Structure 1
Amino acid sequence: MKKFALHAVATVALLAFSHPASSTDVFRLEGYGAVSRGLGGAATAVDVGAPGMMTNPATLSLIKEGASVHLGLDMVNTDIDVRNQATGEVVSSNSHSHNRGPYVAPEAAFVYRRGALALGVGAFAQGGLGTEYGNSSFLSRATGALESGLENSSRLLVLSIPFAVSYAVDERLTIGGSLDAVWQGLNLELLLGADQVGSLIGSGRASGSLIGVLAGLPDLRGAHFSLTRDQPLNSGVDAWGFGGRVGLTYKATDATLLGVAYTLEASMEDMKGRATLTAVDGAAGQIPLNGRIKLRDFKMPAHVDFGVSHRIDSRWLVAADISRVFWRHAMKDINVGFVADGGIGNIDILLPQGYRDQTVLSVGMAYGVDNWTWRGGFRIASQALRSETLFAVIPAIPRKHLSAGLSYNFPAGSRIDVAYSHAFKQSMSNSTLPNTSDPISISHSQNNMSLAYVLPF
């Protein structure tokens, strides 16, 4: 009953949902809401409205008194190319199906502040990833240049539903916290060549009774995993869990605000669903095995955020955040377990990832005059992914962004926020088993647009 209720909340919150947002800081969005996005993602020590509960819930005490509704929309257009360095072939991630790109994800929130107390509840896309390479590129060729006609694609969506509270202890100090319901879903189409399968077995990263079944085929060329639902919200595997964060702000001077927040690593159930494991054989053809699959211990990382904002005068404001994201603990391996129907057998695979912890700097400036506020910012992050474990279907490598935004306050009190950010092209290569068979080079850039409407009442 609890899981049904949470599904209902998510469905209502994402009623207009069409595709997941593709992330920029690995799987995380580079700021929540158009105000933060326009400031380069800064949000720890500045009023960014209702989406502030996703970074530092204590900033809810900075909003105006009364109640308001926040309705927003994120739109992401990616540009991803994968080059086979041995042959020179290039494949681009495009909309080969209705399942992916361009990516759109709405957000909604309600906040209320009266006196020292502020409350908020919302639904936000926390991050995700999407690729679509089709079924006719070199990524769909098994060992020995055997054309398989099988898809290579991915779609990850992470949705957070925070329940937040903030309390102003005195004129200088506010404290806040949130408890989040977290849902994540994954679609994946992935072909592993026979050399990749052999590398996984040889390094002790693949085990189970299906290993013998695959080894017994006359001319094994590869194995393909398919776990996809071609639907807006449902995914091949999904799971619920919980997370949360705590934070505070401190008014150092009348013009300077400091902030700090800590977001917990999400505690997630294993993502479960149905899948097909297809053995690709040069003599026997393709042998599909249907069964149950789970992805174990897949979760969003903990992170700590430090922020400062300073009001230069009545018109100018500067803000900056520095964050440390603990990917190393959260993303060591992609842990896959598959059990074929009918007791045929099972296979467990550990696909190496070994992400590094990541440092992110966000800096923004705002200028307000009359009913308008103009914003600009930049964001730069250290690289969390390792080249030797890079997957074509998980090219989460951009790390430099430039952003701009504006807000307009209508005379009746409502407001519209707009922001644009550009992720500069980042490239990375991998020629190492088991995550690639061919030597590949990936380039990834993207353009993000964020819109929001705030209605007080």
Structure 2
Amino acid sequence: MIRKTACSAVSLLVLIGATPAFATNGMNLEGYGSKSMAMGGTGSAYDTGNSASMNNPATLGFMKEGASEIGFGIRGLHPDISLENGGNSDNSDATSFFMPSMSYMRRDGRITWGMAMLAQGGMGTDYGSDSPMFSMGTSMNGVPGVLMSGEDIRSEVGVGRIMFPVAYNLTDKTTLGASFDVVIASMDLQMDMDGQHFAGMMAGNGGSVGGSMRTSLESMMGPGGITDINYARFDFTNDSPFMGKAVGFGTGLKFGLTHKVSKAVTIGASYHTQTKLSDLETSNATLSFSSNMGTQPVSGKIKVRNFEWPATFAAGIALNPSDKFMIAGDVKFIDWSTVMDKFQMTFIADASSAFSGQNLDVTMDQKWKDQTIWSVGVQYKATDKLALRAGASFSTNPVPDKYLNPLFPAITTNHYTCGFGYRVNDATSVAAAFSWAPRVEATNGDNTVISHSQTNWALNLTHML
């Protein structure tokens, strides 16, 4: 019984860590934990509670000596995404994402340690079936208005972490922190690519197409065979609310420090390494080609290759001009350009198919730029039990317009936040946060206008043991 319970608990933690999310700074959330989120996403130089395991592990050193604390949280993200091109329009039906979190932290002397699980971020859209935006395309030979599959068009990327942080109070003023993270990434994708785009990528425009399956397709094209290709469809998905169809696992590290310059001033910084993930794989995928010879679905394995979470550097300051006021400011740099230059997939056909054992390597250019985020937050202790919080963050858009894909519209930039913390009693506290990302628009290389806004919230409960 003990072994079965332990295995069930581990499975639950893995699922919590991988819950899909639609993030707001590229693929990152604007803040982790209700306190950080309410204060504009700051968190480098003050106590953000157990969420320090994601923000800056060194701030765990602010915990009271001898204390143990458990935490539970839930976060809701509500993106509003719309498309318009040539008089056609559509909205994404993926408007609600919910992400739980759990944590346990303890301080023994100079050392604070624990474990935490949360969803770090991701992306997701759902345009359903028979969407007017994806109903027709242009064939490989340039014939306009050819029919696409008429099936669901959607995407979902989720990245979560199970973290094991530790902080060491080197002196009364300086604390060092680190965290070893188990990273879980998953993906669903249902995408039609019309023949014109497929041919362009075969020619090296916007990406590339290679492998033995490409060679076979080219050999089939000609009089009496395939004379035109309407579209290629990539399809791997499931109905799980926790994890996508293609899954990969890996690790990451975090390092941090804080230093009390004076009673009123604390500075802090952290560095999150780039992850080391395995390919995201599933053996239950379908690749379909529609041509003048009909539609031929091929079953097989898909590998999403070289998908990683970027390195991140953050630094900040916390000012305490009085016992009632705190002002915090952070700057964060996210190295998207290293990990989001290309989206790479390899499809390997099953032995039972006409392309037995052959592979198709597909690369789509993304060319994401590095992102800088400036955050500011204010906290006012209205009473001994109630703290009121507000903040804002301002960032660049990492996604170039030319390569913006309607399935991955991670273009929101600024956020305006508020929230509160309330101490129910000496052992229990609750906190809440609300965030609004105003609507932004971008026009991609296909002249599709993509707009995106978000309203998000978070709730957290902590209890001292």
TM-score normalised by structure 1 residue count: 0.93
**What residue is the counterpart of 2:455 in the other structure?**
447
User: 3-state DSSP class of the match of 1:393?
Assistant: coil
Flag the 1:297–1:8 CA change in 2: closer, same or farther, 3 A.
Answer: farther
The answer to whether the 8 A contact 1:13-1:107 is kept is: no
The answer to whether the 8 A contact 1:337-1:346 is kept is: yes
**What residue is the counterpart of 2:37 in the other structure?**
37
Q: After TM superposition, list the pairs within 5 Å mapping 1:221-236 onto structure 2.
A: 221-236=230-245
Q: CA deviation at 1:153?
A: 0.7
The answer to whether the 8 A contact 2:14-2:162 is kept is: no
Q: CA deviation at 1:53?
A: 1.2
Q: After TM superposition, list the pairs within 5 Å mapping 1:57-456 onto structure 2.
A: 57-65=57-65, 66-84=67-85, 87-95=86-94, 101-137=95-131, 138-143=133-138, 144-145=144-145, 146-203=147-204, 205-215=208-218, 216=221, 217-273=226-282, 274-281=284-291, 283-342=292-351, 343=356, 345-368=358-381, 369-431=383-445, 438-456=446-464
* One-letter amino acid matched to 1:210: M
Bigger radius of gyration: 2
User: 3-state DSSP class of the match of 2:128?
Assistant: coil
Flag the 1:344–1:112 CA change in 2: closer, same or farther, 3 A.
Answer: closer
Rounded to whole Å, the distance in 2 between the matches of 1:142 and 1:8 is 47
Rounded to whole Å, the distance in 1 between the matches of 2:36 and 2:238 is 33
Q: CA deviation at 1:147?
A: 4.0
The answer to whether the 8 A contact 2:56-2:269 is kept is: yes
What fraction of aligned residue pairs are identical, expressed as a percent? 30
Flag the 1:349–1:15 CA change in 2: closer, same or farther, 3 A.
Answer: closer
User: 3-state DSSP class of the match of 2:419?
Assistant: strand
Q: CA deviation at 1:21?
A: 2.0
* One-letter amino acid matched to 1:240: F
Rounded to whole Å, the distance in 2 between the matches of 1:424 and 1:28 is 17
Moved >3 Å (runs of 4+): 5-11, 14-19, 212-215
List gaps (5 residues or longer) in structure 2. 139-143
Q: Deviations over 1:237-274 (max 9, x none)?
A: 11000001101000001111000110000011111113
* One-letter amino acid matched to 2:290: V
List gaps (5 residues or longer) in structure 1. 96-100, 432-437
The answer to whether the 8 A contact 1:421-1:447 is kept is: yes
Flag the 1:451–1:193 CA change in 2: closer, same or farther, 3 A.
Answer: same
User: 3-state DSSP class of the match of 2:199?
Assistant: helix
Number of matched residues?
439
* One-letter amino acid matched to 1:11: S
Q: Deviations over 1:180-207 (max 9, x none)?
A: 0000000011111111101111017111
Rounded to whole Å, the distance in 2 between the matches of 1:232 and 1:440 is 30
Q: Deviations over 1:130-160 (max 9, x none)?
A: 1000121222423232142122111111011
The answer to whether the 8 A contact 1:82-1:441 is kept is: yes
Flag the 1:17–1:122 CA change in 2: closer, same or farther, 3 A.
Answer: closer
The answer to whether the 8 A contact 1:42-1:321 is kept is: yes
Rounded to whole Å, the distance in 2 between the matches of 1:120 and 1:398 is 33
Flag the 1:17–1:205 CA change in 2: closer, same or farther, 3 A.
Answer: closer
The answer to whether the 8 A contact 1:57-1:164 is kept is: yes
The answer to whether the 8 A contact 1:140-1:152 is kept is: no
The answer to whether the 8 A contact 1:184-1:238 is kept is: yes
Q: CA deviation at 1:210?
A: 1.8
**What residue is the counterpart of 1:46 in the other structure?**
46
Q: Deviations over 1:320-365 (max 9, x none)?
A: 1101111111111011111111225211011101111110111000
The answer to whether the 8 A contact 1:116-1:169 is kept is: yes
Q: Deviations over 1:95-151 (max 9, x none)?
A: 5xxxxx410010000000132111121001010111000121222423232142122
The answer to whether the 8 A contact 2:148-2:231 is kept is: no
Flag the 1:196–1:352 CA change in 2: closer, same or farther, 3 A.
Answer: same
Rounded to whole Å, the distance in 1 between the matches of 2:124 and 2:264 is 42
Q: Deviations over 1:211-254 (max 9, x none)?
A: 24444223311101001111112322110000011010000011
The answer to whether the 8 A contact 2:16-2:119 is kept is: no
Rounded to whole Å, the distance in 2 between the matches of 1:139 and 1:455 is 49
TM-score normalised by structure 2 residue count: 0.91
Q: CA deviation at 1:312?
A: 1.4
Rounded to whole Å, the distance in 1 between the matches of 2:247 and 2:14 is 16
Rounded to whole Å, the distance in 2 between the matches of 1:373 and 1:393 is 39
The answer to whether the 8 A contact 1:140-1:150 is kept is: no
The answer to whether the 8 A contact 1:17-1:104 is kept is: no
Rounded to whole Å, the distance in 1 between the matches of 2:30 and 2:124 is 16
